[in-house]
Structure 1
Amino acid sequence: MIITLTPNPSIDRAVTLDALSRGEVQRATSSRVDPGGKGLNVSRAVAAMGGDTRAVLPSGGLEGGLLEALCRAASVPVVVVPIRGSVRMNISVLEPDGTTTKINEPGPLLDAAEVDALIANALTGVPAGDWLSGGGSLPLGAPADFYGRLVRGAHERGIRVAIDTSGAPLAAAVEAKPTLIKPNRDELGELIGRDLPTLGAVLDAAQALQRDGIDMVAVSLGRDGAVIVTSGGAWHATAVASDVVSTVAAGDCMLAGFLFALSADHSAAEALAEGVRWGTAAVALPGSQVPTPADLRDVHVTVTSTPDRELPLAD
């Protein structure tokens, strides 16, 4: 079972244009609406692959009702924490060359009781050894140590916990030593306070965090794939995306594939390959659509235990 917590979920509307022009009236060539937010995207991807998952999220307002309906349509079991505010709606503008422009609303204002209820519901009924994944931005009213509290609660119950966030919430989570973190390169650089222009620089940063008490540090690198660092070594995985349609939720799908494989007792290297496979498949799909088993068939992943430390990373 993979349980996810998304404190600031969204309704994601993706609109495709021939080209985005500021100040112009334009007609979309297509559009779609999906339930969104990092943790929820992980649950959606796991469910689409036939895995066992449960998503914990706040819900309120008319948008909350739509979010719950979209989760049901995606066959994602949800535990809803009622809130007084309304769920946010995010917009992604997609262009044919793969350029994605995102407009994210801030989300609702939560009170202390709603924050406590989110954490309590995420930790309730999770068997020891299962994975709990917390991800995404924090809504207004949630403290910066929200994920730190989640990590400490998971440790007390023997639950393996993965965190995918950024900024102050990531720093607070890192202090609590989650089992796994999955920043992208920019988020990792912000965490440690320096730019990471090469694969070697990323590996050095990830290895320092692993030595400081985080079991696994996975870093997504966009077109350069991803790396995973554990006490047993470091691995770099890449795959070629034949057709980039949308990068929205690709990193979330990568984390989903990684946790899916780890839940099946695969090695870190095998889990990294699966994560990169899922993430690569996701970029060929519109909006924040998640891949199914059929989408994975033509994705070929290369994994090495001797990464090229001098490799310059793409911007």
Structure 2
Amino acid sequence: MILTVTPNPSLDRTYEIPSLDRGEVVRATGERMDPGGKGVNVSRAVAAAGRRTVAVLPLGGAPGAVIEELLAAQGIEVAPVPIAGDTRSNIALAESDGVLTKINAPGPELTGQEQELLLDTVRRQSRGADWIACCGSLPRGLSPSWYADLVARAHAAGVRIALDTSGPALLEALREGPDVVKPNAEELAEAVGRPLMTVGDAVKAAEELRGLGARAVLASLGADGQLLVDGAGVWYGSARVDMVRSNVGAGDSSLAGFLIAGGIGPEALSSAVAHGAAAVQLPGSLMPTPVHLDPAAVTVTPDAPVDRVLGEPVS
């Protein structure tokens, strides 16, 4: 079982529009609602793979109730943490030419009592979990050290923990030695405080995160592949992608694939790459099922192309 923790989930409303004309009345041609948040997406990908997952979420108000209903309909067990404030609602405007404009709300402020209840719920639900995946931004009220506290508690209970966050929350958590962290290229550059121009730059940055405490780093480099840097060395994975339809949730799908395959070594990296490649070839935020995976399209090697210039260098 993979337990996911999303401290700041959302109800994502997507409107399809011909074009975004500021100051005008824009009529949508289609709309949909989805449960949102990086940990939520990991649970959705795990469930799509036919594996059990439990999602721990602070939920409040009508948006929180809708999120719980939507997740239950996808076969995902929800461990809700009741909060006084309303769960945030995000808006995405999808234009016909593929341009996506997102408006993300800040979310509710959690009280001290709600924060402790969230931690206690994770503790109770983690019994029997193979992994805890903590993902996304922190809501108002939670200090940057909150993830560090969660990592310490998970290790005290003997449970492995994966962390997908950024900024001060990531740096604070590193000191507690999370079993794996999963930054993208932008988050990796931010963590080390310098630009990443090549795959080799990304390797060095991942090694620095290990020096700060991470036991393994799974780094997503977009179209330039993925890296796994751990105590055994460096592995590089890439996959053939015939057509990119949407990259929404692709990184979350990759993390799910990594954890499903055990979360250790090149086999897990291969699964991560396969899941990420399948996700970008699906529309919207759909998560791949086993039928969508193409393991034959994946290449994993210990010889990372360190001189390869990143397609989108990150500063």
| Distance in 1, Cα, partners of 2:28 & 2:111 | 38
- Equivalent residue pairs, number: 312
Residue 254 of structure 1 is matched in structure 2 by: 254
Residue 136 of structure 2 is matched in structure 1 by: 136
| Residue identity in the other structure for 1:256 | A
Matched-pair contact (CA < 8 Å) for 1:128–1:158: no
Matched-pair contact (CA < 8 Å) for 1:12–1:288: no
Residue 11 of structure 2 is matched in structure 1 by: 11
Residue 308 of structure 1 is matched in structure 2 by: 305
Question: How big is each residue's C-alpha offset from its partner over 1:22-42, in whole Å with a ceiling of 9 and x where there is no partner?
Answer: 444444443322111111111
Deviates more, 1:28-37 or 1:74-83: 28-37
Residue 286 of structure 1 is matched in structure 2 by: 283
| Distance in 1, Cα, partners of 2:47 & 2:310 | 32
| Distance in 2, Cα, partners of 1:251 & 1:239 | 14
TM-score by length of 1: 0.93
| Distance in 2, Cα, partners of 1:162 & 1:296 | 23
Residue 81 of structure 2 is matched in structure 1 by: 81
Alignment partner of 1:314: what SS? strand
Shift of 1:50: 0.5
| Distance in 1, Cα, partners of 2:305 & 2:98 | 27
Matched-pair contact (CA < 8 Å) for 1:14–1:287: no
Pair 1:274–1:167, CA change in 2 (3 A): same
Alignment partner of 2:219: what SS? strand
Pair 1:70–1:23, CA change in 2 (3 A): same
Query: Within 5 Å, which residues of 2 pair with 1:118-197?
Result: 118-127=118-127, 130-197=130-197
TM-score by length of 2: 0.93
Question: How big is each residue's C-alpha offset from its partner over 1:86-143, in whole Å with a ceiling of 9 and x where there is no partner?
Answer: 1111122334565433211111111011111111111224247721010101111111
Alignment partner of 2:311: what SS? coil
Shift of 1:6: 0.4
Deviates more, 1:124-133 or 1:232-241: 124-133
Of 267, 271, 276 in structure 1, the residue corresponding to residue 273 of structure 2 is 276
Residue 67 of structure 1 is matched in structure 2 by: 67
| Residue identity in the other structure for 1:221 | L
Shift of 1:159: 0.7
| Residue identity in the other structure for 1:307 | A
Matched, 1:204 2:201: no
Residue 58 of structure 1 is matched in structure 2 by: 58
| Distance in 2, Cα, partners of 1:306 & 1:297 | 22
Residue 296 of structure 1 is matched in structure 2 by: 293
| Residue identity in the other structure for 1:277 | A
Matched-pair contact (CA < 8 Å) for 2:16–2:28: yes
Shift of 1:214: 1.9
| Distance in 2, Cα, partners of 1:299 & 1:107 | 42
Pair 1:309–1:294, CA change in 2 (3 A): same
Deviates more, 1:100-109 or 1:148-157: 100-109
Shift of 1:43: 0.7
Matched-pair contact (CA < 8 Å) for 1:280–1:299: no
| Distance in 1, Cα, partners of 2:275 & 2:100 | 19
| Residue identity in the other structure for 2:277 | T
Deviates more, 1:234-243 or 1:305-314: 234-243
Matched, 1:47 2:50: no
Deviates more, 1:22-31 or 1:87-96: 22-31
| Residue identity in the other structure for 2:297 | H
| Residue identity in the other structure for 1:306 | D
Shift of 1:213: 3.2
Matched-pair contact (CA < 8 Å) for 2:17–2:28: yes
Pair 1:314–1:95, CA change in 2 (3 A): farther
Share of identical aligned residues, percent? 47
Unaligned runs of at least 5 residues, structure 2: none
Note the aligned Cα RMSD (angstroms). Answer: 1.9
Shift of 1:182: 0.2
